[in-house]
């Protein structure tokens, strides 16, 4: 019990640090997105929800490209955005070929306010399908063990051959679990299956076909990173002030609107 108390104290202390540093900003959300077709990126909808201005980048280390929402789904927490990004689309895997226990990597922008806006890669496996009292076995989510943090949302979960098998979306609240069960879960995360991504995209300009998974191809994490990182970007949703909205409208009327910004 003493050990549990020590662990709980540590977890609470860490939670305070994380929440203080990463409380959801009412003005801006930061997440990850990846290219699925020329000029189109897939990301998590909660990054953009209730925001007025959307940006993708950074290009050349400082430029941000203005984006627009093409389609969104609150229930699936998915959004398709368009932006003038020159990057190769990432192929999406056929989910029915994805085995439990498959090695995977996640690439994204975790904790950008602490770690900066630079891509990070973590490694894990697909642990199983998500199933609880509120969801059926095939609800559309799977559990994986690669480490993720706030900022990874919307990023791709990648197979050993570099295909997208899902999107990072949810993370178990370890602090609440400790309080309820006196057990500390480590890296219990959930992704949306690739089958859901393809279904979401089928009636959009970014319609894609599933790619067969090659279980014989086992790239190392650094090879997967080198192969895919150019297609993975930071996505920002901003809430504009009334003054900024007025300025945007004025530029649009005068024909001075721009698709680039440097922050």
Element (H, E) at 104: strand 103-108
Integer angstrom CA distances of residue 200 from 40, 42, 46, 165, 192: 13, 10, 16, 14, 11
CA distances to 26, 35, 38 from 207, rounded to whole Å, are 33, 12, 11
C-alpha span between 14 and 6 (Å, rounded): 12
Whether 19 is a known active-site residue: answer no
- Among 46, 53, 194, 195, the active-site one is 46
82 neighbors 39 (Cβ within 8 angstroms): yes
Determine which one of 53, 153, 159, 195 is catalytic.
153
Is the alpha carbon torsion for 21, 26, 27, 28 positive or negative? Answer: positive
SS3 156: strand
For residue 261, give the H/E element and its range. Answer: strand 260-262
153 labelled catalytic = yes
* CA-based nearest residue to 121, from 224, 34, 36: 224
- Which of 53, 77, 82, 161 does the annotation list as catalytic? 77
Q: Known catalytic residue: 77? A: yes
Residues designated as active site: 46, 77, 153
């Amino acid at each position: 019990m003493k050990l549990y108390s020590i662990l709980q104290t540590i977890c609470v202390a860490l939670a305070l640090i994380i929440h203080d540093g990463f409380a959801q900003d009412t003005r801006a959300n930061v997440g990850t997105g990846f290219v699925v077709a020329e000029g189109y990126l897939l990301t998590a909808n909660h990054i953009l929800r209730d925001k007025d201005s959307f940006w993708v980048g950074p290009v050349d280390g400082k430029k941000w490209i203005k984006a627009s929402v093409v389609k969104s789904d609150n229930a699936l927490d998915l959004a398709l955005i368009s932006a003038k990004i020159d990057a190769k689309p990432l192929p999406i895997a056929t989910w029915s070929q994805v085995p439990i226990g498959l090695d995977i990597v996640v690439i994204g922008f975790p904790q950008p306010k602490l770690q900066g806006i630079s891509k990070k890669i973590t490694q894990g496996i697909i642990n199983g399908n998500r199933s609880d009292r509120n969801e059926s076995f095939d609800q559309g989510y799977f559990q994986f063990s690669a480490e993720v943090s706030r900022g990874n949302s919307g990023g791709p979960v990648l197979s050993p051959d570099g295909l997208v098998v899902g999107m990072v979306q949810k993370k178990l609240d370890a602090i609440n679990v400790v309080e309820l069960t006196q057990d500390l879960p480590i890296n219990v995360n959930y992704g949306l299956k690739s089958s859901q991504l393809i279904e979401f995209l089928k009636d959009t300009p970014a319609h894609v076909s599933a790619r067969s998974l090659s279980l014989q191809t086992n790239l190392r994490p650094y090879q997967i990173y080198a192969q895919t990182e150019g297609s993975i970007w930071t996505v920002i949703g901003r809430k504009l002030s009334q003054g900024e909205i007025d300025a945007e409208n004025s530029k649009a009327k005068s024909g001075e609107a721009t698709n680039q910004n440097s922050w």
